[in-house]
Amino acid sequence: MFRWIGCCRPRWERAALLPAETRGRIEGTMREVVRSLFPGLKADLERLVSIPSVSAPGFDPANLRRSAELVASLFAGAGLDTRLLEVEGAPPAVLATFPAPAGAPTVLLYAHHDVQPPGDLALWVSPPFEPTERGGRLYGRGAGDNKSGIAMHLAAVRAFAGKPPVGLKVFIEGEEETGSEHLGQFLSRYGDGLAADVCVLADSGNIQAGIPTLTTSLRGLVDCVVEVRTLDHAVHSGVFGGPFPDALTVLCRLLATLHDEKGTPAVGNRAVAPGPALDIPEEIIRTLAGVLPGVEAIGEGGITERMWARPSISVLAIDAPRVAEASNQLVPVARAKVSMRIAPGDDPRLAMDDLAGHLEQHAPWGARVTVTRGSAARPFAVKAAGPAYEAMKEVMAEAWGCPAIEMGLGGSIPFVAEIAEAFPEATLLLVGAGDPDTREHGENESVLLADLEKACLSETLLLAKLGEAGVR
């Protein structure tokens, strides 16, 4: 365990909860139940991972339907009333429900069954859609992001033999990896059937293997493609080089204006959220990120503040001639994809305007610039309080055997803000089974099976606690 994790579990009102002796019996029984169920859950997770349910354009959409149908059959087999939800242009989602017993709250369990493209197959130790166990981890695309979330929800249903002590609405969507474009339509069409008192959104992760973690904030995102043009065709670099610039040089100088000399983003007057209480030592983050020796940190503030509470700008890709194919010519046109993460409290519409305006106004030497605006996602800060939130922290501590901690997340999860807007009175719990070695979106994605079992147990204990105590 990292030494920097020294936070104490906060006190909260226990009067409405079960006596300690009874809670202990429930915890012990549920632990045994989840442990006995886990081999079957792992086998079902392997079945899910075997389906290449990539939602990105250019991949076979039939696999998304196969994936949704398997998810639906798993929850139907666990005893829930299950059906596919359809919206034109979107992959199918799954809704599995159980009515709330008298006096019990209703809980929405969210995950997604679509996955990222596999990337470079040569970099995978084992094929991405052939789940393989090595060193206590299950490898395969989607093993962590986010089919492990489906396994967590399935465990909680099976642990109660399909009759949980709370109402359940299990919602598994199929396009999160492409921005949940149609989620608003799903919520508009089926929102009455999705409303809940508590929402468990199992698409985050743990700050470290073995450390239960609740995510409390998410940065937002805007991105665009900037094109720079200086010539209407390529010309000989020796004959014309000197009086006129090539597009690549212009693009490099333009991209360099996105940061100041400290590496702080220099686009507009971006919002900065309050700094997190947890400040992880820089050497730990450098190790987790694989930063090479001698590479300096950029920006201002603490390391976690820079990752979770401040904006950042990255150049994700450049379209230009490959080095192996270069010739002695002035390149007439070059493009780059630019991504800007924005802090909670910022507005993605204003951020997009500022990013596009900056690129359009800072090109040197009169080069022509075209900015094509891309995706946008709102930042979000969870209301980290209330009985259900504290119940989640307590059961996570029970399942893992150490206090749960809270962290921000530098990435963006667009659906969180939409669900919060649709159900403003619900308590949102953003959790997951992954850790920094999960490598979601990268090659050799995996999930640590020991942590997945604990995540399954914590969700099961949560439903028991919410049902017995009537916590909302």
At 278 the three-state DSSP class reads: coil
CA 34 to CA 153: how far, in whole Å? Answer: 12
Amino acid sitting at position 396? M
At 378 the three-state DSSP class reads: coil
Q: Is 69 exposed, middle or buried (0-12, 13-18, 19+ CB in 10 A)?
A: middle
Write the DSSP symbol of residue 308: H
Closest CA to 90 of 21, 184, 22: 184
Catalytic residues: 114, 176
Q: What are phi and psi of 227, to 5 degrees?
A: -115, 130
Q: What's the token pair of residue 247?
A: 């597009």
- State how beta strands 167-173 and 106-112 pair: parallel
CA 148 to CA 460: how far, in whole Å? Answer: 15
Q: What are phi and psi of 434, to 5 degrees?
A: -80, 175
- Cβ proximity of 213 and 441 under 8 Å: no
Q: Give exposure, 364-385, as e/b (b: 16+ Cβ within 10 Å).
A: eeebebebeeebbbbbbbbebe
